[in-house]
Amino acid sequence: MLDMEQKLKIFKALSNETRFLIFKNVFTGGYTCSLDKKQPGVEVNPIATCVSTIAEHFNFSLPTISAHIKELKEAKIITVEKKGNKVYIEPNIETIREMAGCFQTLVSNFDENRELFFGDTLTVQ
Amino acid sequence: MLDMEQKLKIFKALSNETRFLIFKNVFTGGYTCSLDKKQPGVEVNPIATCVSTIAEHFNFSLPTISAHIKELKEAKIITVEKKGNKVYIEPNIETIREMAGCFQTLVSNFDENRELFFGDTLTVQ
DNA sequence: ATTCTATTTAGCTAATTTGCTAATTTCATC
DNA sequence: GATGAAATTAGCAAATTAGCTAAATAGAAT
């Protein structure tokens, strides 16, 4: 379970547009790209493989992008693995799964309380 | 559906410890308290009813708490309703429901892609 | 060994955030 | 209408964040 400090880090990490976009790329287009060291023959999406590849998609300097990636790593949203002189970035799905669970629990408890108080179930329109 | 700008606002709003705690109180203990104008006879949890009540739970000034509440409101995490000279705060569950959905979609797509690539299903340990 | 590539660190500035107090607004009550 | 309570606005200071360039580090390739 994520403690509050960890949640705050995650929210902070995702509150910046550049970091949010990196996150999005790594988890969607970027996903397949973590394969390229496991299945070298497979043609993969080049987005988000390593720091400089990610940086190409932004009009910010490499050190700036590097710092953003560090913050995403410290929030455990991504994992980084050094291979040679490159750093490979991968999504950390477990953290996102936890976040999905936290929000879902809040919603479920809320709906359950509503049912207990009002005796109805919510129909989302 | 939440657009990116809206998501960024939500993440930013929840990235500050004080705002996160207000959010938590409003959605859990604070929930019942939105009843007190609907069912005046019912004994309700006094947490998070109005701005000054929330402020009592923190060692920050009222204007500071007021500003935090404004940011939560602008992120559509809570709703505020002025009744007389008090401002009643209520959870906006739809926004949280949307967030739960976004994270869950990301997780589902991720797991589905994993299955397509590797032909397995993930068992969370 | 030198050079090149990928990345991080250091040091800086500008912008933003977070807190405060004092003043103002709004509404209720006397 | 005056007073009091609840909340917001204004204006300010301190801390943090986000960007930059230059320099340093680590590994690969010549």
Is A20 within the bounds of a domain?
A: yes
CATH number at residue B103: 1.10.10.10
Is B124 within the bounds of a domain?
A: no
Is B125 within the bounds of a domain?
A: no
> In the beta sheet, which residues pair with residue A70?
none
Report pLDDT for A32.
Answer: 43
Report pLDDT for A44.
Answer: 41
Tell me the one-letter amino acid at B47.
Answer: I
Mean predicted confidence (pLDDT) in B34-58: 61
**More confident site: A117 or A85:** A85
Is B60 within the bounds of a domain?
A: yes
Which of A17, A35, A103 is the mutation pick for testing B, counting most B CBs within 10 A?
A103
Highest mean pLDDT among A28-32, A100-104, B33-37, B52-56: A100-104
Is A110 within the bounds of a domain?
A: yes
Calculate the CA dihedral of residues A46, A50, A51, A53 and round it to 10 degrees: -20
Could you read off the pLDDT of A76-98 as tens digits, one per residue? 999 999 988 999 999 999 999 99
| Chain A residues inside the 8 Å CB shell of B99 | 103
Q: Which domain holds residue A55?
A: 4-119
Is A107 within the bounds of a domain?
A: yes
Residue B119, helix vs strand vs coil:
coil
| Chain B residues inside the 8 Å CB shell of A97 | 107, 124
CB pairs below 8 Å between A and B: how many? 79
The total of structural domains in chain A comes to: 1
Q: Supply the mean pLDDT for chain B.
A: 84
Is A124 within the bounds of a domain?
A: no
CA-closest candidate to residue B72, choices B30, B115, B11:
B11
CB within 8 Å: B14 and A7: yes
Distance C3 C1' – A51 CA (angstroms): 22
Using the 8-state DSSP alphabet, how is residue A91 labeled?
Answer: E
Is A31 within the bounds of a domain?
A: yes
CA-closest candidate to residue B30, choices B83, B79, B89, B77:
B89
